[in-house]
């Protein structure tokens, strides 16, 4: 009889202790998941449907427009954007006919480049 | 290098017809896109020359543009025409051939005003334009 009681007391105690341990483990897991979710939320992500180049954390991500293929590469820095105006070179039919047509084009290009550098473009 | 050619032509103009024919042949051979933009009028009574149809080069017939290019003789000629009551920038000048290409330093245009009619000159012009387009497309 006494062995049955002691056995029952052992099972009950161990069940209660197991339950407490399991609850503590659930709490720990929930904290961990919350931490991960918070860290993921902090990282900038492209909105759904976005394609092209986007910076995700320290990675450069390129999302394909039609294929949705995602390519990640380490972000090495942004190249400086440089504005270059449209260049128009005007010639006439006489210049096109002449045998020095390519020299004319060269002179035109040099003149345009000098003008652009003088303007500070 | 991406290249395309635009021709601005007037229907009642033999030079435009010749330029279009030559450019079609060259562009077909080199697989360069050719855009044909129609300017000018077909009405023979009015005459397409004296109707205002702006092209890509109408602003080059102004005194300001000529002075900026350092062409004082052209500026004085334009001023003389204006005094006589003719504004050359108001006239339709065709054909205009625009060779548009984009390189690493931005977009550029070579604009050719006019086209020859005599057979020798047409052949020379075609050879020059062909060589230029072939160089721009990378000699494909």
pLDDT digits 0-9 by tens, A16-66: 999 999 999 999 999 999 999 888 777 766 777 888 888 877 888 888 888
Q: Which of A90, A97, A105 sits opposite B113 (nearest CB)?
A: A90
For the entire predicted model, the pTM comes to: 0.65
Residues from chain B contacting residue A91 (CB–CB below 8 Å): 110-113
The CATH code belonging to domain B3-54+93-136 is 3.40.30
The residue of B57, B96, B125 whose CB has the most chain A CBs within 10 angstroms, and thus the best one to mutate to test that interface, is B125
Residues from chain A contacting residue B128 (CB–CB below 8 Å): 96-97, 101-102
ipTM for the predicted complex:
0.85
β-bridge partners, B102: B107
User: What pLDDT does residue B12 have?
Assistant: 80
Q: How is residue A100 annotated by DSSP?
A: T
* Phi, psi of A62, deg, nearest 5: -120, 120
Residue B87: how many CA atoms within 13 Å on its side-chain side?
8
User: What pLDDT does residue B46 have?
Assistant: 56
User: What pLDDT does residue B21 have?
Assistant: 94
Nearest CA in chain A to B110: A89
User: What pLDDT does residue B78 have?
Assistant: 93
Same domain for A8 and A31, yes or no, is yes
* pLDDT class of B91 with cuts at 50, 70, 90: confident
- How many structural domains comprise chain A? 3
CA distance B126 to B115: 10
Provide the residue ranges of all domains of chain B, joining segments of one domain with +: 3-54+93-136, 56-91
In terms of residue numbers, what domain contains A53?
A: 44-79
* pLDDT class of A10 with cuts at 50, 70, 90: very high
Arithmetic mean of pLDDT over chain A: 85
State yes or no: pLDDT of A89 exceeds 70. yes
Share of chain B above pLDDT 90, in %: 55
Same domain for A50 and A70, yes or no, is yes
């Amino acid at each position: 009889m006494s062995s049955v009681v002691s056995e029952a007391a052992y099972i009950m105690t161990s069940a209660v202790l197991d339950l407490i341990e399991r609850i503590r483990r659930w709490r720990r897991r929930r904290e961990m998941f919350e931490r991960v979710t918070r860290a993921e939320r902090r990282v900038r992500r492209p909105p759904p449907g976005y394609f092209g180049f986007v910076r995700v954390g320290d990675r450069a991500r390129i999302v394909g427009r039609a294929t949705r293929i995602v390519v990640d590469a380490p972000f090495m820095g942004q190249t400086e954007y440089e504005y270059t105006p449209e260049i128009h070179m005007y010639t006439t039919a006489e210049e096109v006919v002449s045998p020095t047509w390519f020299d004319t084009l060269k002179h035109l290009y040099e003149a345009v480049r000098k003008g652009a550098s003088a303007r500070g473009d | 290098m991406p290249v395309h050619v635009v021709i601005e032509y007037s229907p009642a103009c033999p030079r435009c017809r010749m330029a279009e024919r030559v450019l079609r042949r060259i562009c077909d051979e080199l697989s360069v896109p050719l855009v044909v933009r129609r300017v000018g009028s077909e009405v023979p009574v009015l005459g397409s020359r004296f109707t205002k149809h702006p092209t890509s080069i109408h602003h080059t017939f102004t005194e300001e543009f000529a002075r900026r290019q350092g062409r004082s003789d052209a500026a004085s000629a334009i001023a003389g025409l204006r005094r006589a009551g003719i504004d050359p920038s108001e006239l339709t000048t065709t054909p205009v051939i625009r060779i548009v290409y984009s390189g690493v330093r931005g977009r550029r245009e070579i604009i050719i005003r006019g086209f020859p009619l005599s057979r020798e000159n047409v052949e020379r012009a075609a050879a020059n334009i062909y060589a230029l387009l072939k160089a721009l497309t990378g000699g494909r």
